[in-house]
Chains A and B, each alone.
Chain A
Amino acid sequence: SAVISQKPSRDICQRGTSLTIQCQVDSQVTMMFWYRQQPGQSLTLIATANQGSEATYESGFVIDKFPISRPNLTFSTLTVSNMSPEDSSIYLCSVEVQGVSYEQYFGPGTRLTVT
């Protein structure tokens, strides 16, 4: 398993500003993922972040809006840029742990409200 922390846990931001969310893992992992969970909805994958390479974005998500850094095997950041109220969501990072199956473990999430 893996223990994952996220900062901040929640924030209220004004439209047009940007917020950077940090994700820290207690062990080295190859693959990290960023998800968005809109109110009352399931999880939507934003991007996959591998250390040493550019993040891979899912359809509907672009690097200019959600730039991601992955400087080492235990840390990643997601920035939500030029925010609008539609960006109000919970943002979760997860890591893949390889074993018998490929499980994902999640951080506690960052609850973002854009006013």
Chain B
Amino acid sequence: GNSVTQMEGPVTLSEEAFLTINCTYTATGYPSLFWYVQYPGEGLQLLLKATKADDKGSNKGFEATYRKETTSFHLEKGSVQVSDSAVYFCALSENYGQNFVFGPGTRLSVLP
């Protein structure tokens, strides 16, 4: 079945550091890929998405590129802020939105 793997957390960075959170997936078809963010005490928010190979999703300074050859969708940000501290979930969906699969989440802490 489909699955999503993320790098182990927690990740602790200093403010303005470069961020990479790795995400790889296994899918039988051609899924859409997503990054969701969960701030402390809140629900999940859609951060960015990509629907086909080589698409780049971007939002709030975060980027991720859909790499079909490496089945990856790594999240990057050039300069993190304290307000980026949250848990980040990589996810995929196929079959018309059903079978939404989440990765285990990566907790990011950004220190001032």
Q: In the complex, which residues of chain B have a beta carbon less than 8 angstroms from the beta carbon of A43?
A: 44, 89, 102
Interface mask (B71-112 → A, CB under 8 Å = 1, otherwise 0)? 000000000000000000100010011101011110000000
Which one of A11-19, A63-71, A79-87, A101-109 is at the B interface?
A101-109
A33 within 8 A of B: yes
The residue among A4, A41, A42 with the most chain B CB atoms within 10 A of its own CB is A42
The secondary-structure label for the interface of chain A is: strand
A92 within 8 A of B: yes
CA distance A43 to B27 in the complex (A): 18
Residue of B nearest to A31 (CB): B97
Instruction: Give the size category of B's interface with A.
Output: 20 to 34
| Inter-chain contact B100/A106, CB cutoff 8 Å | no
Chain A residues within 8 Å of chain B by Cβ, number: 23
Residue of B nearest to A103 (CB): B46
Q: In the complex, which residues of chain A have a beta carbon less than 8 angstroms from the beta carbon of B103?
A: 42
| Inter-chain contact B104/A102, CB cutoff 8 Å | no
| Inter-chain contact A42/B102, CB cutoff 8 Å | yes
Q: Which positions 58-115 of chain A face chain B at CB distance < 8 Å?
A: 92, 94, 96, 98, 100-109
| Inter-chain contact B51/A105, CB cutoff 8 Å | no
Q: In the complex, which residues of chain A have a beta carbon less than 8 angstroms from the beta carbon of B46?
A: 103-105
CA distance A105 to B42 in the complex (A): 13
| Inter-chain contact B42/A101, CB cutoff 8 Å | no
The 10 tightest CB contacts between A and B, nearest first, are A102-B97, A101-B32, A108-B43, A106-B44, A106-B43, A101-B51, A109-B43, A42-B104, A96-B97, A43-B102
A interface list, Cβ under 8 A from B: 4, 6, 31, 33, 41-43, 45, 48, 92, 94, 96, 98, 100-109
- Enumerate 28 A-B pairs (CB-CB under 8 Å) in ascending A order: A4-B43, A6-B43, A31-B97, A31-B98, A42-B103, A42-B104, A42-B105, A45-B100, A92-B44, A96-B97, A98-B97, A100-B51, A101-B49, A101-B93, A101-B97, A102-B93, A102-B96, A102-B97, A103-B46, A103-B49, A104-B46, A104-B97, A105-B46, A106-B36, A106-B45, A107-B43, A108-B43, A109-B42
